[in-house]
Amino acid sequence: MDKSPAAETTGAPAPQVPRTFFQYLRSFGPGIVIAMTWMGAGDVVESAVAGGNYGYALMWVLALALVVRFLFVSLIAKYQLCNQRGEGVLDGLGRLHPWYPPFLALMGFVIGHIQGAYLIVGIGEISVNVTGIGYVWLWGLFWNLVTLVIVFRPEYGRLELLFKVLLGLLSVSFLGAALWVGPSPTKILQGVFAFDLPGQVGPFGSLIVAIGLIGTIGGSLANLVYPYFLEQKGWIGPAFRRVQFYDLLLGIVVLIVLDLAIWTLGAEVLHPRGLTIAEMDDLPRLLSTILGEGGRLLFYLGLFAVLYTGLVGQALGFGALCSHGYQRWRAGPEVKLQAYQAHPSYRWVVVWCLISPVVWTAPGMPGFVVMTVFVASASVVLIPLLVGGLWWITAKAEYIGAEYKNRLWENVLMGVLFALGLWGAYGSVKSIAESF
């Protein structure tokens, strides 16, 4: 039975499985959409904080986090495309335990609000800093209303085009600024293989920054929204596994390049001067002294592109995730579901994720950078639950089918990821507790 109701709402003919190199290039898209959704604010702030406070010493964490994310999400996609029932990942987790779908829907509801908060605060602060007029809450509300128009009536082709245009904008911004200040390849390689945790510099210890990087880049609940973009693209069934693999790989490469560019700005601009990041404008302000006002505006344009694509992608993704989880909980494991975006729960979650976080833009609320670092670290707590559940349903033939169940090396990998998730969850709770 086909249990991919989101595919029914695309309104486009089923895509053809690509055969040639150029067909593959034309097919790519969900990987870019999910990469931009993941990047949001967390990658920018975490990478800039790590580079500014610790130079290239924590580059190994970035490398580890991206490898973790690629392997973890690749298994998510394998279940989505190849399981014997043609169902979604959340459906498989619901077979493992009936409380998985409603719990993850609830977590999506909560995290959608929290992540929406620092995205909206960031977008509001950028708008005020660039224009010099208005208030953070007013700009945040304005951009949220614009996003509501996009997300309430989503059309995947237009969404993909929007993300590609904004990717081009932030690539010019971040890569241009990083090349302008000049990266240090030797120091980058040393940081990748050093496995060092230096002493605390600035307001954030190296442990909480490292845990935050793993949580933001390596694994989070946002990983589970990738299957919904695959469905909207029309990629359903094992025939699309190969193109999906390369599509996701492209998305990870995009993240590597952009994260490295942001890290370089922190390491080359802030770190040599003994400066740290505590506010949104710290890095752009210093860039303006080195590259002029144009450099500051260039960086802000890229940062806006990152935050806005994150806002749109997370509203779409968490809306679908919560609608799916809610419907599966109410209907049971065997009932065919209504299309996620056509169900009233999708619209309620979207409104919640976009409108409720505006309260965090009020005066006296925590700053953008502080919110981002602590939210990223706290999200690591969910990793053992996600990895453990995915490990089980991809390792057992009764869930995914005998042909596609995990091989030995995949089970070993998932065991390592599960242990890493437990370590990360413990470190997250400990580091946040010590920060208060």
Can you tell me the mean pLDDT for 338-348?
A: 88
The sign one gets for the Cα dihedral 67, 39, 355, 337 is negative
| C-beta separation of 43 from 378 below 8 A | no
Q: Tell me whether residue 293 is exposed, middle or buried, using C-beta atoms within 10 angstroms of its C-beta: 0 to 12, 13 to 18, 19 or more.
A: exposed
Sorting pLDDT into bands at 50, 70 and 90, what band is 43? low
Higher pLDDT, 274 or 123: 123
Can you tell me the mean pLDDT for 31-51?
A: 75
DSSP tag of 381:
G
Per-residue pLDDT reduced to its tens digit, 370-427: 555 566 555 666 778 888 899 999 999 999 999 999 999 889 888 877 877 777 677 6
Q: What is the pLDDT of residue 135?
A: 87
Higher pLDDT, 9 or 120: 120
pTM of the model: 0.83
Distances (CA, A) of 354 to 52, 99, 110, 157: 31, 26, 12, 22
Assign a CATH topology to domain 5-435: Amino acid/polyamine transporter I (1.20.1740)
Q: Is the pLDDT of residue 219 over 80?
A: no
d(CA 289, CA 181) in angstroms, rounded, equals: 12
One-letter amino acid of 301: L
One-letter amino acid of 391: W
Higher pLDDT, 333 or 433: 333
Helical packing angle, 293-331 and 226-233, nearest 10°? 90
One-letter amino acid of 350: V
**Residue 297, number of CB atoms within 10 A of its CB:** 17
Please name which of 259, 219, 203, 255 lies closest in space to residue 54, comparing C-alpha atoms.
203
| C-beta separation of 219 from 68 below 8 A | yes
Residues 6+ apart with CB under 8 A from 396: 405
| C-beta separation of 303 from 44 below 8 A | yes
